[in-house]
Structure 1
């Protein structure tokens, strides 16, 4: 298996991947604890810096680009600082950003974390402020997204739909993308937080354990319920494979052939921060499938990639050199 995985890594480079979904700007406002306010029993923070990090579908884009894919980002941003910064960051990674359309009637989806710390104290998040418009996109934006996708999707080696529930991926778009991928034999993976059962016909479904449980309507509490959930999603969506990520318990792959593979987590004791690890899994898996990997090879590569990023603080990425090193160390 080691040689197979190492050989696949060399084939990930320059695969054309389209990522469609909810582009999120994760904003970190850093502050130094100054004193207690006279107005209320709250901390006063002296602002020190502000940092924007790709989140949501844009984190999938960021991960795929760092793994040397040629990535087309497709989604909506607002005419605001967060959106401009998100586009700048992705452009710096050589991402194709013409598909990041500006909607003047809605803000960029933004999750702002207020981070506080001081001398001899631990930096920690004290509050998060989310900003997004919940209403559906207007017809002009829907048409513009569909037109861009239609023009470029036929040239792709793989497609990701990253649905965080913020209405970028409308039902007509879901069906259009999946049908086109099926017609052109392009692997397509979906990661949907709330709406995965709408993705009938998609190639691969990625869910974490709680999302899978919500999709099937019962808790996953043991091996029997896990098997039932995975096979139910597989059958209902007519998918080729379902990958359920299970935190410290690794991940389980269900294939249409009936094969089930459990993949244990890598370096469990070294886990540091799981933020964004699911996006790393999706990005790695679609690149591997685009390179001709089997579903099991792609899942195992994504498991190694996730094992690397959880040892890094915050929303992190990995690259081909780190992936090679992790696989080499594991099989020593």
Structure 2
């Protein structure tokens, strides 16, 4: 891809509007330092100096979309609690549409707390409710999505297996929105893989793809066969397998597989990298890119966020800078 092509694609993101349906959560980071071991157990003591919060899970996907200049609308469930209010405030601050965010007083907001010492993650603590949402909540989410359908280019389904993405809701969203000519992109979770039938694209990582097929990818040919099998089994238009240091491989109906080399220059933290991939890829499709072009842009965006500690998103300027570094162009200030 030429730089001027990339610039145009990134510019076109500003006219895109995407719905993100899935498991929203609050990512909490406790930053501190370690200088001694606990006398109570052989574990380090972290002296917390700073706490920060970011939209996580499906909400991080929406944040990625907005960081790239697009419009994003989140659809999911939060509890009537402090974490839910903090998350809602963060979403509004990021200019993410929250009309589809339902408050459920009988459910706690999912919170993932990461404790870091000297910028190194020491432990993660999860507080969440993973029960499937009931029919009334499903109906409310679908109704709000359909009310907004005319202004949406497509739907990202961000599944963390926390109870929002259930079979009935998934089928309704895919059937209704594909009939309207909208794309459906799925960031999968192994537990629900058999559910994902006939979306536009599914974006598993290598481990998820292996587990869905019940076999290990020892060789490149295993990846190629696995991707084609997932394509056939799911009825999707395409499968994009993210492969860490091996880049990503795209499998489209009627086309030969394409592998895109990684563009990561440094890797500090993979938190949210999958969110970045599906968000950037979806914007590429909404902006009129081919699937291969969209995957190439998503690959560059992923290369940005894995070089940042904590849940992160990539801006258009960061992607262009990363392109220049990756392809050896001179980067000048100003």
TM superposition score normalised by structure 1 = 0.92
Q: Which residue of 1 aligns with 2:112?
A: 111
**For 1:124, which of 117, 120, 125 is the aligned residue?**
120
Instruction: Report deviation, 1:4.
Output: 2.9
Partner Cα distance (2:35, 2:244) in 1: 37
Partner Cα distance (1:259, 1:36) in 2: 55
Is the contact made by 1:158 and 1:289 (CA closer than 8 Å) also made in structure 2? no
Is the contact made by 2:119 and 2:309 (CA closer than 8 Å) also made in structure 1? no
* Greater alpha carbon shift after TM alignment, 184-193 vs 122-131: 122-131
Q: Which residue of 2 aligns with 1:204?
A: 201
Instruction: Say which SS state the counterpart of residue 24 (structure 1) adopts.
Output: strand
Instruction: Say which SS state the counterpart of residue 127 (structure 1) adopts.
Output: strand
Question: What are the Cα deviations for residues 57-108 of structure 1, in whole angstroms up to 9, with x where unaligned?
Answer: 1110110110111000010111122211111111111110121111111111
Instruction: Report deviation, 1:138.
Output: 2.6
User: Cα RMSD (Å) of the superposition?
Assistant: 1.9
Size of the alignment, in residue pairs? 326
Is the contact made by 2:116 and 2:122 (CA closer than 8 Å) also made in structure 1? yes
**For 1:251, which of 248, 252, 256 is the aligned residue?**
248
**For 2:280, which of 277, 284, 292 is the aligned residue?**
284
Q: What runs of 5+ residues in structure 2 fail to find an aligned partner?
A: 330-334
Question: What are the Cα deviations for residues 153-184 of structure 1, in whole angstroms up to 9, with x where unaligned?
Answer: 34211210000111101111111111122111
Partner Cα distance (1:274, 1:177) in 2: 29
Superposition pairs for residues 188-199 of structure 1, below 5 Å? Answer: 188-194=184-190, 195-199=192-196
**For 2:270, which of 263, 271, 274 is the aligned residue?**
274
Instruction: Say which SS state the counterpart of residue 262 (structure 1) adopts.
Output: strand
Q: Which residue of 1 aligns with 2:234?
A: 237
Superposition pairs for residues 1-332 of structure 1, below 5 Å? Answer: 1-2=1-2, 3-33=4-34, 44-116=45-117, 122-194=118-190, 195-268=192-265, 270-331=266-327, 332=329
* Greater alpha carbon shift after TM alignment, 299-308 vs 132-141: 132-141
TM superposition score normalised by structure 2 = 0.91
